[in-house]
Amino acid sequence: MPLVSSRFDPPAWLRNGHVQTIVGALVRSREAITFRRERLELADGDFLDLDWAQSSRDRLAIVSHGLEGRSTNGYIRGIAAALAEDRWDVLAWNFRGCGGEPNRLPRFYHSGETQDLAEVIRHGARSYSTIALVGFSLGGNVTLKYLGETPSHPAVAAAVAISVPVDLAACAAILDSRRGNRVYLRRFLKTLIAKAEAKAVRFPDQFDAGGPRGICSIAEFDERFTAPLHGFSSAADYWARSSALQYLHRVAVPTLLLNAQDDPFLAPSCFPKADATANRMLFLETPRFGGHVGFLHVRKGLRRWSDARAVQFLQSFVERAEA
């Protein structure tokens, strides 16, 4: 322990990583969830847009989205609805520039940016004594890195991280090189490049004079934009310092890492069995199927099994902490 034997068993037509990933991206949450937006002003002059679903409960789940995601994505609304049904208030926060309005500063967000998450947690802890963290993909890497790099806020009781590229260099190489990943690569680069072009207009002195056009890989984007904008010497330096993999042995609250074996984005190093075996707080569950942020099944309609699994995991440990 804590290597967890998974019970996820989708029907035959969903036993394919690309099907799970693509259909999962198209699925919209059927559950009704209403968010109230708050703008959190930051000390550096920027802001974060926070979306709250509250019913005057005494515990809060903070949900972090993936690369180029936002709080309105179907997978965010789905987990928010599942958590709300299980008596959680929910705060789904948008990374800088992801809430529907460009952020104020030249910098974006990135896979290793934990200070913004820490600020969101401190903000939530003013009203809640019990906090759980849920992160998807890039947001999962941010969540795991936060939990391992320094002691987490005392209100944080448990966490779930889903479809997480904990080894950024290896996953960037897979996303850039695998033929089957080209559709995902084009989708990510389209919005990333659009944001970089808009930033270059607003901040011409701080962006590559050659502009973002012609970039055709995550590696090139991170080398030319992500790394220099956020104080890294290169893409390799950014990946090395931002990957959550190196911090997993220090995670000190009960945390579930749920990564599907057929996830087209993940490298073998994203299934850290040795870390889970050595750290009694890190629970690693690796279903054979599920794709990237998919985990779809067809019980009571097409739904994400991972929503119920996350709620179940959090409930088991938070109830112990509150007892």
Q: One of 49, 51, 86, 263 is an active-site residue; which one? A: 263
46 noted as active-site residue:
no
**Catalytic status, residue 51:** no
Maximum alpha-carbon separation in the chain: 59
The helix/strand/coil state of 211 is coil
Token representation of residue 198:
């808009």
Residue-by-residue DSSP string for 96-158 = TT-SSS--SSS----TT--HHHHHHHHHHHTT-SEEEEEEETHHHHHHHHHHHHSPPPTTEEE
Please identify which of the residues 137, 163, 242, 306 carries the catalytic annotation.
137
- In 184-295, where do the E strands start and end? 255-258, 282-285
Decide if 269 is catalytic. Answer: no
Gap between the Cα atoms of 34 and 201, Å rounded:
35
d(C-alpha 298, C-alpha 120), whole Å: 35
CB count, 10 Å around CB of 186? 10
User: How many Cβ atoms sit within 10 Å of the Cβ of residue 30?
Assistant: 13
Residue of 292, 297, 306, 307 marked active site: 292
113, 174, 160, 194: which is closest to 316 by C-alpha?
A: 160
Contact in structure between 50 and 40 (CB atoms under 8 Å):
yes
- Active site residues per annotation: 137, 263, 292
